[in-house]
Amino acid sequence: TNNGLHMGVVSLLPILLFPMFGLVDPKDVVTNYSKTTIFLFIGGFLLAIATEKSQLHKRLATKLLSIFPNSPRGVLLSLMITAGMLSSILSDTTTALLIIPIAAFLTDNVDYKFRLLLGVAYASLIGGIITPVGTPPNLILMDFIETNGLEMIPFATWVVMMLPLAIVMMVVASEILLYGFKKENFELVEIDMSKKPLTANQKKLVWILSSLAVILAANPILKHFFGIEINEKLTLLAFGLFLFLPKVDLLEWKEDFMKIPFAIIFLFGAGFSIAMAFQKTGLATEIANILVSFNYLPPIVLMLIIGSGVVFATELTSNTALTSIMIPIIYPFAVKSGLDPTLFMLIVAISASYAFMLPIATAPNAIAMSTGHVKTTQMAQRGIFLNIFGIVITFTVALTYWRLFL
């Protein structure tokens, strides 16, 4: 976190260090950097690059501004919903980079501006939980489920499970951010971009994204009724590559492909490698055995302790690394305790996205801070309440609603 070494360099170290210390065979480590999950994320980044290049994200934001009331809550929610929608498919970092400049532009009032900026950062994190591809912890969980032969959670099912939670978290976050705000400080700059017609490239991208959404939504239906299953990971990559076709012409290989943040791609590989090392060395099982000694506690108490620990630990460490470490531990612990491992692992993965307190916790927070309009104290004071509410809301939803699908 102190940038002593670039994240990309650190992310490649498992390829050297794990075999060097005899933890994992070199060929096994390298395979973690070429999993289908990684290519799924590459496809997501390509769609994000096309969205930014076509300025479609600005059209979405300004359209929502015209729909919602011209009030402090209305404008904040319009930005948060935009960020949440984008973050459900794109990375939280990309979403924050796209929407935070818009939030900073909308008002000159410093008291309202920092609330809008934090709203976008928080919504980028919350929106990531809506889909399996929204954030690295979700991808790590899905890869672990697939690798260990557990029943996969279809894309559409995941969305149905997570959307109510995300909506509640958005509303709670907006109320926390607007607490203490005086309405007389509300002012906006003029913006009329939404009145212009869509460009040709924006229309193309809308059709492409709509087609992708239809395919992903139809996948569980096709599987259930016709026994046809679409590989969702490769589908996203295919749509990303589709953008380079001459007749589509939304991306150019030389100009746009290198915009992919490969350091983050390598970070996924490092996370998968850490999870593999925890399993192959038996460390995950040993820690799980220690946790089993607490299985006399009610499941709800165990979930609360584990989830709370993850929520506050992710403020100080990478949510990718934290999820990679915790999920291989929680799985054998839940199995040995006779509990639902998928439910426990879901709580860990979702809790890892609740990094609302510190700028070092996650990229969207850091991006909001980098504008110079958000203070660490402002983020921490509001973030700690959102962390606490997040724990309570997530456990309530997990124990009452998620169980209907697992």
pTM of structure: 0.71
pLDDT digits (tens, 9 = 90+) for 171-221: 999 999 999 888 877 877 665 555 678 889 999 999 998 888 788 777 767
Nearest to 92 by CA among 50, 61, 125: 125
pLDDT on residue 290: 75
The answer to whether 350 and 128 are in contact (CB under 8 A) is no
328 confidence band (pLDDT: 50, 70, 90):
confident
Among 182-186, 283-287, 370-374, the minimum mean pLDDT is found in: 283-287
